[in-house]
Amino acid sequence: MTTLYGQEARERIWSLIKDTKVAMLATHAVTGLLHARPMMPQIRRPEDKAFDGVLWFFTGADTGKMAEIDANPAALLTFSDPKGHNYVALNGTVSISRDPAIIDELWSAADKAWFPGGKDDPNLRLLRFDASEAEFWDSPGLIAAGIAFLQALATGERADPGDHGHADLDIPDLAPHTDHKANPLALTPRDPVG
């Protein structure tokens, strides 16, 4: 399993999520259960600027997720790209904003379908998702996966489903020679099966 840190982690995660149009945002419902819903990320990353782990979403002030976020800002954001065989789960926190400069930057004409009052719609809110860590699966295409599956059957060894890893977006970059086992910042390894 791959473990990435800092900017390397953020760039790998960005490469896997940047083209995904819809994510699932899970928050903690008042019942204690997780409550998920599809959300469209509003991309705010100039091509010359590195991904900083922050994703933005438009939402309505009248939605149930607002009370859930107020009660517990911890959230899970998942991205699924079955065509590209990439999957990402981001852990982080969500905060609520009405920053007019960011609304102006992210706004598109299509957003008026959800917020008829435009950028000044009193129901319009921004959700800021700050990712802290991620787990990802970056698998080969169907043909490569099929070959790996047949190889595993022929050799009796376990099939390699592709790259599965953990990315800590908060920990600064670690030098390649760092002994991660001796590093107190290193994370506990995840089960490679997933």
Q: What CATH number did the domain enclosing 78 receive? A: 2.30.110.10
Q: Which two tokens stand for residue 192?
A: 């490679």
- Computed over every residue of the chain, the mean pLDDT equals 82
DSSP 19-51: T---EEEEEE-TTSSEEEEEE--B----TTS--
What is the band of 162 on the pLDDT scale with cuts at 50, 70, 90?
low
Higher pLDDT, 156 or 9: 9
Question: Is pLDDT of 157 > 70?
Answer: yes
The range of the structural domain enclosing residue 71 comes to: 2-168
Dist. CA 184–CA 177, nearest whole Å: 15
Give the Å distances, CA to CA, from 162 to 23, 107, 115. 22, 37, 41
Number of domains observed in the structure of the chain: 1
Confirm whether 24 is domain-assigned: yes
Average pLDDT over residues 62-66: 95
Dist. CA 143–CA 130, nearest whole Å: 36
Cβ–Cβ under 8 Å, residues 53 and 11: no
Confirm whether 117 is domain-assigned: yes
- Quote the pLDDT of residue 177: 35
Q: Over the stretch 10-40, which tens digit does the pLDDT of each residue have?
A: 899 999 999 999 999 999 998 989 999 999 9
Average pLDDT over residues 133-147: 73
Question: Is pLDDT of 147 > 50?
Answer: yes
The beta-strand segments (E) located in 98-160 are: 124-138
